[in-house]
Amino acid sequence: MAKLSTLVPALAEVLGLPEPSVALPARRLREARVISTGGRGPGGADMTASDCAALLVAVLASESASAAPAVVQEWRRLQSRFGEGRSRMDAGMAAVLDPSAGFLDQLSSIIDLGRSGVIERMFSHMMAPQIVVHLGMPVRSAFISIHSGNEDGELSVVFMCEYGVMPDEPDDEQSGDLTVSKVITDKTLLRLGLLLRT
């Protein structure tokens, strides 16, 4: 398993960000015990898929490093809206993903599928999967889609789900119509999964 000191530069590289943009939120998450903690160096905590998902969301959705722990907790509230609107899952994905899982849990599961090699095995007879995760702000919303293709290059949806706060919870106040969307793909998620194999 990878240590935080390995995860930070790898995530910075794959996202194309300067390392401090990842290191500072990581430190705040560790101090707040939002991610695994332990000693330093070789005695440091082994990072999990859940830690990777939390750090990824902190880096993408936090306006400042000091806000990272609270931001991760806010994104943990996003629940699956599977069955509402645009949602879909084929039988193969139903065996490995829980459509009722919350957003951060689902993101962790996808990273873990990359770590365990399940994604490679599932899609070995098809084109590599295209995994896209959209994070919408300032009103927190997310969308995960996984597509795969056949030998003819035709893509089909194997998983699609929207995530948001539950209707009985207050949502962020939004003063205008502007929504900022940040997108990550299989390149980032599978890289994190491979990193956790070490």
Q: Exposed (0-12), middle (13-18) or buried (19+): which is 99, by Cβ within 10 Å? A: middle
Q: How far apart are CA 118 and CA 98, in angstroms?
A: 15
How do strand 155-164 and strand 141-149 relate by DSSP bridges?
antiparallel
Averaged pLDDT score across all residues of the chain? 85
Segments forming the whole domain that contains residue 164: 4-197
- Long-range CB pairs of 99-104 (<8 Å, 24+ gap) are 99/161, 102/76, 102/77, 102/78, 102/163, 103/75, 103/76, 103/78, 103/79, 103/142, 103/144, 103/163, 104/50, 104/53, 104/54, 104/57, 104/72, 104/75, 104/76, 104/78
- Condensed to tens digits (0 to 9), the pLDDT of residues 51-67 reads 999 999 999 999 999 99
pTM recorded for the entire structure: 0.87
> Structurally, how many domains does the chain consist of?
1
Tokens standing for 173? 């106040």
- Condensed to tens digits (0 to 9), the pLDDT of residues 10-38 reads 999 999 999 999 999 999 999 999 999 98
Q: What count of other Cβ atoms lies within 10 Å of the Cβ of residue 60?
A: 19
- What H or E segment, with its residue span, contains residue 105? helix 103-116
Tokens standing for 33? 């015990």
Tokens standing for 52? 């990777």
Find tokens 């919350």 and name the residue.
102
Q: How far apart are CA 118 and CA 12, in angstroms?
A: 25
- Condensed to tens digits (0 to 9), the pLDDT of residues 106-159 reads 999 999 998 998 887 777 666 667 888 989 888 888 999 988 876 676 777 888
How do strand 180-185 and strand 88-89 relate by DSSP bridges?
unpaired
